[in-house]
Amino acid sequence: MPAPKILVIDDKPDNLCALRATLEEWIPDAVILTVLSGMEGIERAERDLPDAVLTDILMPGIDGYEVCSRLKAGHRTRHIPVILLTASITDVKQRVKGMGAGADAFVTKPIDGAELTAQIRVALRVKAAADELRTHREHLQNLVEEKDREIVRAEMECRGVEEALRESESRLAQAQKMETIGRLTGGVVHDLNNTLTIVGGYAEIILEDPDPSETVHEGAGEIKRASRRAASLIRQLLDFSRKHVPSRGEININEHISDVEGMLQKMIGEDVLLQSRLQPGIALIEVDPVQLTQLLMNLALNARDAMPDGGRLTIETGNFHLDTARAEEHKKMRPGDYVMLSVTDVGSGMDARTKEKIFEPFFTTKGPGIGTGLGLSNVQTTVERSGGYVSVHSEINRGTEFRIYFPQIRAEESSNSNQCQDDSDAAVQDIPRGNETILVVDDEDSVRSIERTILEKLGYTVREASSGEQVFQMYQSGNLDQIHLLMTDVNMPETSGFELAQALRGSFQGLKVLYVSGYAEDIIVRRGAPRNGELFLSKPFSPGALATKVREALDGA
Question: Which CATH number is 403's domain given?
Answer: 3.30.565.10
Amino acid identity of residue 197, one-letter, is T
Q: What are the residues whose beta carbons fall under 8 Å from the beta carbon of 339, sequence distance 6 or more?
A: 253, 282, 283, 284, 285, 317, 318, 319, 320, 405, 406, 407, 408
Number of folded domains in the chain?
3
In a shared domain, residues 516 and 457 = yes
User: What pTM was estimated for this model as a whole?
Assistant: 0.46
In a shared domain, residues 410 and 460 = no
Burial class (CB in 10 A: 0-12, 13-18, 19+), 65: buried
Residue 419 DSSP symbol: -
Q: Pick from 201, 233, 204, 234: which is nearest to 221 by CA?
A: 204
For the four alpha carbons of 281, 287, 289 and 291, in that order, the dihedral sign comes to negative
The residue among 111, 127, 157 that closes a domain is 111
d(Cα 207, Cα 220) in Å, to the nearest integer? 6
108 strand-pairing partners: 86
DSSP letters, 284-340, are PEEE-HHHHHHHHHHHHHHHHHH-TT-EEEEEEEEEEEE-HHHHGGGTTPPSEEEEE
Print pLDDT tens along the chain (557 aa): 678 999 999 999 999 999 999 999 898 888 999 999 999 999 999 999 999 999 999 899 999 999 999 999 998 898 899 999 887 655 678 778 888 898 888 888 888 888 888 888 888 888 888 888 888 888 888 888 888 888 888 888 888 888 888 877 777 776 676 666 666 666 666 677 777 777 777 777 777 776 767 777 677 777 777 777 677 666 665 655 555 556 677 889 999 999 888 889 988 988 899 999 999 999 999 988 888 888 898 889 888 988 989 999 999 999 998 887 676 666 677 888 999 999 999 998 888 777 777 776 555 555 544 444 445 777 888 888 888 888 888 888 889 999 999 999 854 443 343 333 344 444 444 678 899 999 999 998 988 998 999 999 999 999 999 999 999 999 999 888 889 999 999 888 888 888 898 889 888 888 899 998 876 544 444 554 456 668 888 888 888 889 999 999 998 76
Task: Check: CB of residue 313 under 8 Å from CB of residue 273.
Answer: yes
In a shared domain, residues 385 and 268 = yes
The residue among 80, 111, 142 that closes a domain is 111
Instruction: Report yes or no on 177 lying in a domain.
Output: no
In a shared domain, residues 432 and 412 = no
**Which strands sit side by side in the sheet containing 485-489, from one edge to the other?**
461-465, 437-441, 485-489, 512-517, 534-538
CATH number of the domain encompassing residue 19: 3.40.50.2300
Q: Pick from 442, 537, 450, 526: which is nearest to 491 by CA?
A: 442
In a shared domain, residues 353 and 283 = yes
In a shared domain, residues 446 and 344 = no
